[in-house]
Structure 1
Amino acid sequence: MTELTLLDAELRQGSIALTMEVDPSLAAEQPPQNTVLARVSFQFAEATNVDADLSAKLLVPVAGAAFRTVLPTPRADGPLQAVRITTVHPEDRIVFEKGLDDRLARLYPLDGPDYVDLLASHTRRWGSASTRHFLAEQVTRFFVDHPEHRIGASLIQAYKAVELGDAGLIAAALDINQAAFGWLEGLSLDWHPRRNREHLEVSLLTAKWHLQLAAANISGLQATCHHMLALTSRPQANYATLAYSASKSLLLGGWLEWRRGDEATAKLFWDQTVAMFKLAVRDADPYRAVLFRELEHSLNAAWLAGLCLRNLGRNRNDMPTLEQIIDSAVRVPSRTRRQLQAILEQAVRSDTDSTSRPG
């Protein structure tokens, strides 16, 4: 009898990586390279299945007693709906840790409620940044009946592309981001941010500048921040949730203008950052506890903007550091924040060098 324990599964663009343990007796015996340990079935729409054998020759030792294998994902015209791993012989056994069998059986939502259950909540998503990017990218490509969910998936795709730092994924996410602005048409106002047209437009702009910064497109980043300033300077129906992303964007936009030496425009950005927090507090409903608590992000941005406004025209060392600005403004994990900070610092340094060089 052969026993496999699936420890992890990572979906990538064009492949799936499986990490597993093989029962000690089999591992010690070093089975022939052509021994088939399990069968992997890729299931697409309309009951289209493509099977692949998981053979011993594909296993690469990793930490401890674990092995890893990477299998190519078949090409198809529709979304990958499930990956099923089954035994070859009746006496064999596969154990799935972390509920991976259930996870792999639901890789694409069947309808709107299924999308909400699978991807809408950060706490319900699973897997690595690569897996989450894969799942979201499928929705942006194929899930055409629910524009609000398709937009939500485009945001996941964007931020995961930034985390992964792959230039091709970032460029593709920018293309999807641009298309997603068209998906706003027909959406209306709603108390829930993931259905609210105003909130989603602000969210798309925020994701856009993250992608532009990751691509070192600083002029594009500045243009998007100016777009945010213009948008939020116009009356909005409700500021309670859209201020979350808008405040972050405006804070960074002000820093960019200040660093370029345009203090008047920086003041416009930072004044609007403070205004967004005040308006969000006015419109917030304390009975919607999770959304109400998110005001702390707008408060932090407004606090830093206030420090910036206080120190305009004074010693530059009195300004909040770029690290503080980045930590408040960006919506990616710490390691990626530092990478984005380095990109911005390098761009600013290069710009300063070019303007100070004799003509």
Structure 2
Amino acid sequence: MLRSTSDPVTASALPPDRAGRKALALTDLCTLRPMPEPVLDEIDAHLTGFLQAAEARVRIQAALKLSQCDWAPLEAVRVLAFDAYEVSAPVLSHSQRLKEQDLLALAALGTDQRLALAKRRSVSNTLAERLSGYRERDCLAQLFVNLGAQLSALCAEQTADIIKADAMLQNALSQRGSLELEFAQALYEAAGEAVSALLEEVCPEALAHLDATGAAHDEDSLDDLGASLSDELHEIDALNAEDVLRATQNGRADISDHAVARLTGLEPADWRQALRRSPVRVSILAARAMAMNIDHAHLFFEALCDQGRAHNLPADAAKKAVGELYQQYSRDTARQALHRMSADGSIH
């Protein structure tokens, strides 16, 4: 049993300087050599208490040492990881003691924490997807150049619209030397010709695979199929706004675009052009023109955001925008506004 003059429960009652000295002494003891788990657990309880009572400069020193120790006491490491960023940075970037659930929780703390996590020696699919979901340029660049980061198809889907417009991110991907096939294929499907030169350079097998399966060349046939299906449903009065929502949520733009056009009276090309010009307003007006209920209108907008076809808004702001436009426009006036957009490139 480890002997100590301080109980871990009462460590917080120590003056910060004394707690700091004890924390650093235990930190040094921990990093000397691996210890049996029961001994490490006993140290962990005391060290955690002393760290919580110590000054920030002491916690910074402890974090630097423990972040490089593969057998560091787990709870002490977690306390430091969830501390202020000036303390936690080395633990976030280097410590192998943190569990996956810890890393996912830490990703929610802030931009600095996410950037540090993207530098880790190994970044799992799950963590890479969580980091990609925040769509932060610097974090994405770090993630892309990190050869230990596993980039999945979902990573590509979440970031394709940013990548295709950002030379820095394209350059970061090119520095990987090669791309995971699943990621490369999803990136091509989402960003198309905008990243074809990049994929030709770093993942030619992805384009070869797409060519072999016809996936890169069947966009027109999918579009024709979507048009035919929408026409047939419309002819028997079976096409409705719920079909549009379902197709959009399933990522079937080939069907949903023609269904939207049918229900609003626009040409598919005009709907797509209007959506590019003013994605937030146009998507909500289209929902109103199709007689979607207000809850489905919000889901429709969210689905378009998920596909990178509309700008993400905070949930409260999105609901507010939907509510305001639904108050301002009836179904007919929303339809008229969409047609004006098609005619003169602006919505009044």
TM range (shorter): 0.3 to 0.5
Q: Between Structure 1 and Structure 2, which shows a larger proportion of strand residues? A: 1
Select the structure that is richer in helix: 2
Q: Which has the larger radius of gyration?
A: 2
Please, what TM-score do these two structures have when normalized by structure 1?
Answer: 0.34
TM-score of the two chains, using structure 2 as the length reference = 0.35
